[in-house]
Amino acid sequence: MLVLGIETSCDETGVALYDTGAGLLGHTLYSQVAMHAEYGGVVPELASRDHVRRLLPLTRSLLENCARRLTDIDAIAYTQGPGLAGALLVGAAVAASLAYALKVPVAGLHHLEGHLLSPLLASPAPRFPFVALLVSGGHTQLMRVDGVGDYQLLGETVDDAAGEAFDKTAKLLGLPYPGGPALAQLAQSGNPKRFKLPRPMLASGDLNFSFSGLKTAVLTLVRGADPDNDAKADIAASFQQAIVEVLVAKSVSAVAGEGLDQLVVAGGVGANTALREALSKKAQRSGFAVFYPPQDLCTDNGAMIAFAGALRLKGGAPAGTGFTVRARWELDELRTVSIA
Ligand code: KG4
Ligand code: ZN
């Protein structure tokens, strides 16, 4: 079965072809980062309009690169939510119309399910059940994953997401949008021990997170004394270290608490090298295995949607015509709500 995946939930237009026999045939991505950088963040209306411009040409070039025709497509999966409503509608409309014209099934997917299952595209791949740490721009969650569609929330952020904290802190340090990767790069030359930043909720006894206080602590530092470049690097490194420490500690508790021996890390912040190094070290010591998606599939992409769609459609998940989008949508609702 050849599945076309379409991702348009935010500022990346992603398309991919996944074949249930041959695996991922190809994926293509157009990032709107340069367009939004001028405004210091994503402008939803501009994002929607750009998806309209990019999606069909991108799909055509994907098919060409993979030496496939439109009529080879057996099913279509698109991101139904959560995300920006207008941006989601572009992917949903194209997916539904194409599916109607080709007379193939169409499935609306949860964006985080795409992230969550993307480590299964790597080799070696984890096996169910596992604990997943989802760290993106909009979410920070620990989930127990027992199978496709069987997700149980163990803990989540009570305020900012990890990626959001990276982005907001980067802004405070005068770094360009998107802040996460820029802050991580600056942190490489900094001293993570110079500034004592809080480790929010480290000892809270549950698996929840809080990151907004950390951003405020950085704001206090920046306001206190206009930092020079060295101090900025040290702040970046100290901030990154604090976030990484909390993410690692809670992930370890989740794996131990569930009595499992595999941790899967997904979402944009999963690309962070300091987090990967700290997690791998801790995992080795604690005797569990840690899995990541391939590096280019950490941030938003069409491949994870094509892949999750293939798993869903293979499992006989209901797929209908017509379309809806869900700008807000909790992942553990998937247990009770059909995805069609
Ligand atoms: O999963 P994603 O591409 O989009 C969402 O679904 O939100 O995640 C984007 C987030 C942004 O906040 C970005 O700053 C962060 O992931 N990010 C990083 C790194 N790469 C991306 N944060 C820290 N270090 C990185 N290397
Ligand atoms: Zn994402």
Each domain of the chain, given as residue ranges in start order, spans: 2-116+297-333, 128-292
pLDDT digits (tens, 9 = 90+) for 99-116: 999 999 999 999 999 999
SS3 state of residue 236: helix
The pLDDT of residue 110: 94
**To test the ligand 1 pocket, which listed residue (166, 211, 215, 297) has its Cβ within 8 A of the most ligand atoms?**
166
> What 3-state class would DSSP assign to 286?
helix
The residue written with tokens 């059909």 in the block is 338
Q: Which of 219, 255, 264, 4 is nearest to 112 (CA)?
A: 264
Per-residue confidence (pLDDT) for residue 318, from 0 to 100: 52
User: Is 2-116+297-333 in CATH node 3.30.420.40?
Assistant: yes
Cβ–Cβ under 8 Å, residues 5 and 304: yes
Residues with CB under 6 A from ligand 1: 10, 136-138, 163, 166-167, 178-181, 184, 267-269, 271-272, 299-300
CA of 111 to the centre of ligand 2 (A): 6
Cα gap 97→191, rounded to integer Å: 53
Instruction: Tell whether the model's pLDDT for residue 177 goes beyond 90.
Output: no
DSSP category for residue 91: H
Q: Which atom of ligand 1 is nearest to the CA of 115?
A: 1
**Helix-strand-coil split of the chain, %, nearest 5:** 45, 20, 35
pTM strictly above 0.95: no
Give distance in angstroms: CA of 41 to centre of ligand 1: 13
User: Quick check: bond before 57 cis, omega within 30?
Assistant: no
Give percent of the chain with pLDDT exceeding 90. 87
Q: Are domains 2-116+297-333 and 128-292 of this chain identical in fold?
A: yes
Residue found by looking up tokens 């604690």 in the block:
286
Q: Does residue 233 contact residue 143 with C-beta atoms inside 8 Å?
A: no
Specify the pLDDT at position 334: 81
Instruction: Report the distance separating Cα 79 and Cα 302, nearest Å.
Output: 9
The reported pLDDT for the residue numbered 338 is 45
- Of 6, 87, 96, which is closest to residue 49 (Cα–Cα)? 87
Q: How confident is the model at residue 335 (pLDDT cuts 50, 70, 90)?
A: low
User: CA 152, 117, 140, 9 torsion: positive or negative?
Assistant: negative
**pLDDT per residue as tens digits for the range 27-78:** 999 999 999 999 988 999 999 999 999 999 999 999 999 999 999 999 999 9
pLDDT band at residue 333 under the 50/70/90 scheme: confident
Mean pLDDT of 178-191: 96
Tokens of 148: 């496709």
Q: Which atom of ligand 1 is nearest to the CA of 83?
A: 6
- pLDDT tens-digit series, residues 215-238: 999 999 998 878 899 999 999 999
Confidence (pLDDT) at 322: 61
Ligand closest in space to the Cα of 138:
1
Cα 162 to ligand 1 centroid, rounded to whole Å: 8
Could you identify the atom of ligand 1 that is nearest to the CA of residue 178?
A: 14
Alpha-carbon distance values, 301 to 5, 149, 202, 295, 312 (Å): 9, 20, 32, 11, 18
Q: How many angstroms does the Cα of residue 256 sit away from the middle of ligand 2? A: 27
User: What sections of 175-272 are H helices per DSSP?
Assistant: 179-187, 212-224, 229-258
% of the chain beyond a pLDDT of 70: 96
Compute, in angstroms, the gap from residue 267 CA to the centroid of ligand 1.
7
Q: Which of 294, 235, 284, 240 is nearest to 263 (CA)?
A: 284
Q: pLDDT at residue 317 above 80?
A: no
Do residues 304 and 118 make contact, with C-beta atoms less than 8 angstroms apart? yes
Residue found by looking up tokens 């992917």 in the block: 91
Q: Are strands 12-19 and 106-110 parallel, antiparallel or unpaired?
A: unpaired
H or E segment to which residue 289 belongs: strand 289-291
Burial string for 210-227 (b: 16+ CB within 10 Å, else e) reads bbebbbebbeebbeeeeb
Distance from C-alpha of 118 to C-alpha of 267, rounded to nearest angstrom: 9
Rounded to whole angstroms, how far apart are CA atoms 243 and 117? 24
Q: Which helix (H) or strand (E) holds 63?
A: helix 44-65
Determine how many CB atoms are found less than 10 A away from the CB of residue 110.
Answer: 25
Over residues 233-266, the pLDDT tens digits come to 999 999 999 999 999 999 999 999 999 999 999 9
Average pLDDT, the chain: 93
Specify the pairing of strand 150-156 against strand 75-81: unpaired
Looking at domain 128-292, its CATH class is alpha beta
